[in-house]
Structure 1
């Protein structure tokens, strides 16, 4: 008989532990698919590599299978270790690109089969092609993610726009995602580029940073120098609700921006006025942050219904309420244009638009930006970043 007291596991704790493990099952299933297809393509599909090549290659895939979720958990979980987040994000992007091009490589395999090329030559050509394409795309994608975004110019006709506002320039940045990779110099360069674009209104449409003001302020503070003749305005994105949304709203106010937390301002030029309104992100209410939740009625309260409305709303899917309210132009981000092709097709399952100018209802137009920065994997493949210059035209 032991003198030690027996350890009893409370039923609630047992159920929580079981639910945690159950939530991991889909994660590991997806990981098996994402890594299993490339493993088969590069090592097992008739390549007949020497045993040392098979062993080393399989060990690399096994290390990635363990290392990727571990790094993501340490980097984006409770620990918030930036070095782990950088490793996990890079691995996630590399695995996605490797998976996509391993799948597409089966078309090359079929073509070589039709051409009469036998194994192991056929499978080794396929494996070599996948490695070469993936390496090239990752180098190019990293360069695209880290470069100063190109300026994209778009004219937007607005029927209710007064003559004094014709030609008004709205410079839009969004999805900067200041995070584990310190991009303070990049942030300063973006601000300089915004200032060169001679904006009347400068907008940041959410997903400003991943993390708290305390740890990301160095990267965000160059935005204090951004110039807009009439206004500088900001709304929250979904990522602010992973850290401290109210903290970022308050911080942007301290550096001279108007935080449009379900409210509006009115700008005037040439005797004509424009309502510039903003709403919280679509996820704000579910986040549990007190006093937050997209509320377009509150944002437009006491505004003149005859004036044109420019609305900042982070997610394109918020355009439904904008169209119902007769908003003239909504600007959004969130999609990143897919960021790494062909993820744009998956984004389209959730959002009405992935990129560009679109019409909704009788009056409302929506412009969806590909984003100025990037989230997570430091790669952009066939989805270039942008700083958007929207010129409003009386039309």
Structure 2
């Protein structure tokens, strides 16, 4: 874990004394796509561990009840820094408020932001958000495949920095779907819209080795772009065109992507699940879906990077017909000029000896999902300057 502290606001202001408040804005530093996640449990608390990208002050979190069928109340919410496991850095755990109140009720289908938390949060921090609901019930909202360990308990132990009462573990995030910070107005964010590869499946749990994590580390030290924030909006099994494993990319674009503050660029890497599902989806269908996303992103004044669909020969659903669709789709992404920029993940991952197949060194073994080395190769294939592209 990167050593970082949420420091008193006076210190944060002193550190940035050469910059007026007017020169700052809010930017998303972490995000996770919302989905239906089991049933809400009354009097349960969650201690959710998330890894930030860009640093800043005035931390805010967003709680989501997007898939609930009734209001859910959170009567105690804290944010601190991880020391180890469920234990927090001493003195870091601070209560969050909502319009000045300690409790907030989130209507069904809605989200709410907390008030800003004074002080500064460093980049690449393991932020820990502890939430308690006295009345959660009905469909829960969260993100199923976190590739990170979080914790839960019965009763309200959110104010505690000790791990003693946090004995339950979970690989999901509940109700929390975004964290934002205030930083320089020149700094922007990229949102990665994708499926299980973007979600990080088969990368190393708790080590932040999803390809968007590697991208965030590159951005942190780059002088090629002022994009520093990264929000990972991948969902395992997700499709561009059809609901199933989460709402389709088309149906969740507004909530999961365009609603975040400070976004400059959308990075679209989806399509393999549509292609390999054998539902009759054609390249023309896929291209129409991409074009709708491009148009909606451009209508918001943002730019969009398209990533080519990676090879998946060896996966049980692979066949020559699906491969032909993939090749046609990738030709559109590379050559149409309709995306503002292109990241050629197909080229980064494919074997030079069989370009329909992933290079074994980068393959986790199932022939669709890259391993940690493959995730890094994907991030390394992104031209960082392209994330500052113009949508004009």
By the TM > 0.5 criterion, same fold?
Answer: no
Larger radius of gyration: 1
Normalising by structure 2, we get a TM-score of 0.27
Relative to its length, the structure with more strand (as a share) is 2
Relative to its length, the structure with more helix (as a share) is 1
Normalising by structure 1, we get a TM-score of 0.27
